[in-house]
Structure 1
Amino acid sequence: MIYIQENSNDPMYLQIYNQVKKDIEQGNIAHGERLPGIRTLAQTLGIARNTVSQAYTQLAVEGYIQARHGSGFFVMDTSSEFTEKNYVPQDIKALSTQKSELKKPVILYDFQYGTLPYEQFPFKLWRKYTSQILLSSQKEVVNHYPDKQGDLFLREEIVRHLYKSRGMVCSKEQIIIGCGLQYSLNILCTLLRKENNIIAMEEPGYNGARDVFINNNYNVHAIPASKDGLILSSIHCSNACAAYVTPSHQFPYGTVMSIVQRKELLNWANVNDAYIIEDDYDSELRYDANPVPALHSLDAEDRTIYIGTFSKSLSPSLRVNYMVLPVRLLKRYHSLFCSHSSPVSWLTQRVLAAYMREGNYERHIRKMCITYKRCHDIFIQEATKMFDKKVILHGRGAGVHFVLEFPGGEEQDWLIKQAEKVGVKVYSMIPFWNDRNECPRNIIFIGYSLLNEQQVREGIALLHSAWFNALT
């Protein structure tokens, strides 16, 4: 029996729909049973036929009933062997309860890597350019699908920026805007695919890149990396189609690839018809000298694929990065990705282009370098004073992280647990190794992008008490 409530917030057709649907799902109306006709039910309920028709139409669209010409509406079989017999739903509530019951240590100082303090973002200028663009004639393209390579204005600004800051000569036609390193690497995995898919990669190296290669069924050939730099000898017998490297600031050790190694790598790519993927993830953040020239700027054979990002200098949540494709790969790119659209919002790209055009991005980078240099210098000063020769710092002079080595043999698991006891978070180096057994156990990873100078001082003091007072 269907009841209509005059004072209900739900429209009458929805009341009919819900009641019939519920009766079908609970088995009160059997499969194959004929429902009352539209005219009959409308007269019974004292409502318009259109109201009943609207309810029946919705039920039919969703597969609960079926209209048979000249016969009326009949109930469909909505049972499912899979959902009724095989599917056992997870108890989400129980899982979340178990998770919340785990005792988490209180973290006062998080020496993480990547997240930036919110106050460093240029909110005022971002609002200004957003308003200007939305009130200008440019807004006409807001409902268009963006070009697969990204906004033309932003690509033009990136070309200018790369020429001034990295010594690179490229064109807007070579720039492809992406929503992060993984997006760009996924494209490259398609472009570079061969029968024997091998990527040479630093070991240790950035695990986010390695995961993309593995997920795309590439085999990873290790290029050994250490605090003294890369060992390139093994790449010559790798048969790799490309080498993924971070030459300006090796991740995670922080070394800079020498000019001799750069030339050797470029020669390898040229001789072996291979490519170099240059991840220039934090090249703007250099404190002890001018930024190191990009490997791309030395390449005379069009073998380097340059990848840059705004995540370390502006904001990781904008999800804007870019790559410079060699001219020789452009035809293949346009063929394989002809139906794609840029994954980054048009408005974000256009605002970023306007922000860069007036020199704000360069000023922002200078400001960020000053801020991070202070934290970098304070970290070295306090670590040297507190730890003395008990800790060796790797990766000085650039970026927002260090690798800490413990000559006394203290192991990272113990170091991390002791730090957590005093409210400090530091990180393992193990994820950066493809062969995790090869990771030395006396090193840890530590960043400072989220901390101010005072927090760096206080955090290091607590680490000293946790690690070295505990030993004595």
Structure 2
Amino acid sequence: MIYIQENSDDPIYLQIYHQVKKDIEQGNIAPGERLPGIRTLAQTLGIARNTVSQAYTQLAVEGYIRARHGSGFFVLDTSTKFTERNYVPQDINALSVERSELKQPVILYDFQYGELSYEQFPFKLWRKYTSQVLLSSQKEVVNQYPDKQGDLLLRQEIKKHLYRSRGMVCCEEQIIIGSGLYYSLDILCKILRKENNTIAMEEPGYNGARDVFINNNYNLHAIPASKDGLILSSIHRSGACAAYVTPSHQFPYGTVMPIFQRKELLNWANANDAYIIEDDYDSELRYDANPVPALRSLDTEDRTIYIGTFSKSLSPSLRVNYMVLPVRLLTRYHSLFCSHNSPVSWLTQRVLAAYMTEGNYERHIRKMCITYKRRHDVFIKESTEMFGRKVILHGRGAGLHFILEFPGGEEQDWLIKEAEKVGVKVYSMIPFWKDRNDCPRNIIFAGYSLLSEQQIREGIALLQSAWFSSLP
């Protein structure tokens, strides 16, 4: 029984915490026993539910109880916890052995995807433009709430950049600055919401986008994707209000959507009062040809929602992306988000606008392409020499990663574990499938944005020794 002392110096939640903790430690409440529910205990004691919740939360943090979803809080077995009374000194060498067995493998070469090497960021110019902006006549804006669509100067620079690099014609009123793809997709989920909330999406596809749609209670219709491209036939009976695609560099396979499929998608959107969400992922980083024109540049009916980002070309930590809405959706956007402010700081937006104004962004992209093309080429050359026909690379010619296919049938779990044993990190493809059982088990994912050319050589040599050294 819990007693509340009104005149106690301890807050009520601490009184509950101490009494329950004492009962657990003394065995008055047995392991596995269910505690009274928060609502029930609050009503019994005549106190607020938050007070009981605070006490239970503290007990859970300290390992005395555990919450089970939909069932309440249950007492954990604390008898194995060390106390001063039952502590028994152990042999220090035995402890060292146990710890060494629990150590994670040391990763020397991480073929991750997403982060960029810090040397690529234009620190000198960024400092220069930050100082200029803070000393400008408009610096007082730094203490004001930013426009919900973002800084006008940045939107004007993005409009010019899209026309020069992607063949797109739009106006700054259509551009919305965001803090990443998730932010933009979350806005779209509100704008596009209908009675039948279905989004067509590539399968496999970007799992981050998939999670946003699911969290907004959308149904997903799979557009099958493979190393040979998309299969669009099923989209005509999907009933989807929009299709999310990565036509310039399909994620994760890296294929480019051919012109006939782009036209088929546009025809589908026109005929079904639907929209195409074009995530122009990795469009700037092409090494075998000029960047492919954006799907939106072919759209004559204003059915394409274009999303671009500075994460892969400049820095993911800036948290700056942008979306170009069709004119017909602007009224609904302004209606739903009239009281919103831009999630990106004015200073970051204005510095980026100043950086773009003098052509630095285009020069930076060209420099990035040169750097990453070298790493891309080294990866292909070393893989070809080390693996021969045992590995097939997918996604050549663009982006910052490859898909490695193993025609011999080696499975990704084994490949990842063997790589870790020699200090190399490669990644599973399973997360990119909504139905994980559909993922082929003989493929893995490897990026190279954080590794130098020499590190790529050394990493691939270690992978060869881990995977194929025992084979004839």
Say whether residues 1:24 and 2:21 are aligned partners: no
Distance in 1 (CA, whole Å) between partners of 2:375 and 2:131 is 34
Structure 1 moving runs of 4+ over 6 Å: 92-95, 98-101
| 1:397-436 equivalences in 2 (<5 Å) | 397-436=397-436
Structure-2 residue corresponding to 1:88: 59
1:262 partner letter: R
Residues 80 and 348 (structure 1), Cα distance of their counterparts in 2 relative to 1, 3 Å cut: closer
Deviations 1:232-272 (A, max 9, x none): 00100000000000000000000000000000000000000
Please name the residue that 2:323 is paired with: 323
Secondary structure at 2:416 match in 1: helix
Name the residue aligned to 2:291.
Answer: 291
One-letter identity of the residue aligned with 2:183: Y
**1:67-146 alignment runs, 5 A limit:** 80-84=51-55, 88-91=59-62, 102-146=102-146
1:92 deviation in Å? 7.7
Within-5 A mapping of 1:179-218:
179-218=179-218
Give the TM-score normalised by the residue count of structure 2.
0.82
- Where in structure 2 are there 5+ consecutive unaligned residues? 1-5, 16-46, 65-77, 82-97
Work out the CA distance in 1 between the residues paired with 2:185 and 2:270: 21
| Amino acid of the structure 2 residue aligned with 1:208 | G
SS in 2 for 1:461: helix
- Superposition map of 1:315-464 within 5 A: 315-464=315-464
**CA offset at residue 431 of structure 1?**
0.2
- The residue identity in structure 1 corresponding to 2:385 is K
Give the CA deviation at 1:166: 0.3
Change (3 A) 1:142 1:377: same
Hey, what does 2:31 align to over in structure 1? none
> Could you tell me which residue of structure 2 aligns to residue 7 of structure 1?
none
Whole-Å Cα distance in 2 between the matches of residues 204 and 162 of structure 1? 28
Cα 1:455/1:86, change in 2 over 3 Å: closer
Cα distance between partner residues in 2 of 1:429 and 1:333: 36
> Secondary structure at the residue paired with 2:59?
coil
Residue-pair matches, total: 403
Counterpart CA distance in 2 for 1:86 and 1:302 is 51
Identity among equivalent positions (%) equals 81
- What code does the residue aligned with 2:421 have? K
- CA 1:300–1:424 in structure 2 vs 1: closer, same or farther (change >3 Å)? same
Which has more radius of gyration?
A: 1
Following superposition, the deviation at residue 81 of structure 1 comes to: 4.3
Tell me the equivalent position of 1:73. Answer: none
Normalization by structure 1: what TM-score? 0.82
The alpha-carbon deviation at position 91 of structure 1 amounts to: 2.6
Q: Per-residue displacement from partner, 1:404-443 (whole Å, max 9, x unpaired)?
A: 1000000000000000000000000000000110000000
Inter-CA distance 212–26: structure 2 relative to 1 (3 Å threshold)? closer
Cα offset for 1:299?
Answer: 0.2
SS of residue matched to 1:243: strand
Alignment of 1:250-265 (within 5 A): 250-265=250-265
| Equivalent-residue separation in structure 2 for 1:324 and 1:113 (angstroms) | 26
Structure 1 position 89, deviation (Å): 2.9
Aligned to 1:465: 465
Question: Cα deviation per residue 1:183-210 (whole Å; 9 max; x = unaligned)?
Answer: 0000000000011110000000000000
SS in 1 for 2:469: helix
Quote how far apart the aligned CAs of 1:25 are. Answer: 1.7
Q: CA separation in 2, counterparts of 1:395 and 1:26?
A: 61
- Distance in structure 2 (CA, Å) of the matches to 1:308 and 1:92: 45
SS in 2 for 1:24: coil
SS in 1 for 2:185: helix
Q: Which amino acid aligns with 1:229?
A: G
Change (3 A) 1:404 1:164: same
Q: Structure 1, residues 320-342: CA drift from partner, whole Å, max 9, x if none? A: 00000000000000000000000
Q: How well do the aligned residues superpose, as a CA RMSD in angstroms? A: 2.5
The amino acid across from 1:235 in the alignment is I
| 1:222 aligned counterpart, secondary structure | strand
Determine helix, strand or coil for the equivalent of 1:89: helix
Secondary structure at the residue paired with 1:292? coil
Instruction: Find the counterpart in structure 2 of residue 51 from structure 1.
Output: none
Instruction: Write the distance in 2 (CA, Å) between the matches of 1:92 and 1:451.
Output: 41
Cα offset, 1:103, TM superposition:
2.2
Task: State the Cα distance separating 1:104 from its structure 2 match.
Answer: 1.2
Amino acid paired to 2:9: I
Letter of the structure 1 residue corresponding to residue 168 of structure 2: M
In structure 2, how many angstroms separate the alpha carbons of the residues matched to 1:150 and 1:101?
A: 52
Secondary structure of 1:136's aligned partner: coil
- Alpha-carbon shift at residue 310 of structure 1 (Å): 0.2
- Identify the range of structure 1 (136-145 vs 287-296) with the bigger mean alpha-carbon deviation: 136-145
